[in-house]
Amino acid sequence: MRAMLRAVLWDVDGTLAETERDGHRVAFDRAFEAAGLPWRSDVDTYGRLLEVAGGYERLLHDMASRPDAPRDPVECEALARCLHRTKNEAYAELVAAGGTALRPGVRRVIDACRDADIAQAIVTTTSRVNVDALLSRAIGVDWSARFAAMVCAEDAPAKKPDPLAYEVALERLALDAREAVAIEDSPNGLAAARACDIAVLVTRSVYFRDADIAGAAAACDDLDSVVRGTFGTARRIDVATLEAIAFAAASWPTRPSPRTPAR
């Protein structure tokens, strides 16, 4: 079956920029400090928490093991909401100050896809305001003109590895899974896209350098690096490489849709 690449679906955190290590982690610490809390996350500790997708959910998970966090669930959730809000404000300040540059090759591939008339979408568990803060700074105020669809936490409250965000993206783009390639950095993101039968290129971020990425169609250290996959090997990611990834993945057996009960 000949696959035609019609869309590239971009994860945000870890894929476009190292926003987890340099953005959200630092912003959480600033929120803790502003609230007079002694909690801090060093790079490794925060990395372990990334197993939980969603900043609010991650914070609640972290608070569950902190002896000085409120024990009452209502109090705990109220504090987490307040800290998460402050974290997002601090995140906006950090990215506006240029603390989270795009990863190598990201801008080049976004522009190449635009020039080749390949649709692009944002598919992320972070909220819209955070995507806007990051891309306004990294690309410019007109950044959203490059994207045909944007699926954020507000659009898909069930977070990766739940496939909802990718389901919504395919629906909004009116595309079949085999017409898209997702670019992801994390096992949760990979699982979400694969559950929809979308071919995934993994660009390994600092936190997931050694993660298990079984099921990925191809992988690279960043988009300017050598990429290897079922299609073969290429010097770096460009439109031809993305097309080759989609083409090779099209011969894989189709997976049942996650929302379609198995017969």
Instruction: Pick the catalytic residue from 11, 29, 155, 197.
Output: 11
- 222 a catalytic residue: no
Please enumerate in sequence order all residues whose Cβ is within 8 A of that of 223, keeping only pairs 6 or more positions apart, or say none: 103, 104, 105, 106, 108, 109, 183, 203, 236, 237
The β-bridge relationship of strands 149-151 and 227-229 is: unpaired
The β-bridge relationship of strands 199-203 and 218-220 is: parallel
61, 49 contact by CB (below 8 A)? yes
Q: Rounded to the nearest whole angstrom, what is the least distance from the CB of residue 187 to ligand XBP in the complex?
A: 11
What type of residue sits at position 65? S
27 is written with which tokens? 């912003």
Query: Which of Mg ion, ligand XBP, none lies near 130, with the C-beta cut-off 5 to 8 A by kind?
Result: ligand XBP
> Interface residues with ligand XBP (CB under 6 A)?
11-14, 20, 24, 53-55, 124-127, 130, 153, 160, 186, 189
Query: Which of Mg ion, ligand XBP, none lies near 105, with the C-beta cut-off 5 to 8 A by kind?
Result: none
Kindly tell me which residue out of 120, 127, 130, 186 binds Mg ion, with binding defined by CB under 5 A.
186
Cis peptide before 38 (omega within 30 of 0): no
Q: How far apart are CA 9 and CA 23, in angstroms?
A: 22
Instruction: Pick the catalytic residue from 13, 29, 162, 197.
Output: 13
DSSP H/E element including 238: none
In the complex with Mg ion, which residue's Cβ is closer, 32 or 208? 208
The β-bridge relationship of strands 199-203 and 7-10 is: unpaired
- 13 a catalytic residue: yes
In the complex with Mg ion, which residue's Cβ is closer, 18 or 179? 18
Site membership for Mg ion, residue 14 (CB under 5 A): yes
In the complex with ligand XBP, which residue's Cβ is closer, 106 or 153? 153
Query: Which of ligand XBP, Mg ion, none lies near 54, with the C-beta cut-off 5 to 8 A by kind?
Result: ligand XBP
Residues that bind Mg ion (CB under 5 A): 11, 13-14, 185-186, 189
Catalytic residue set? 11, 13
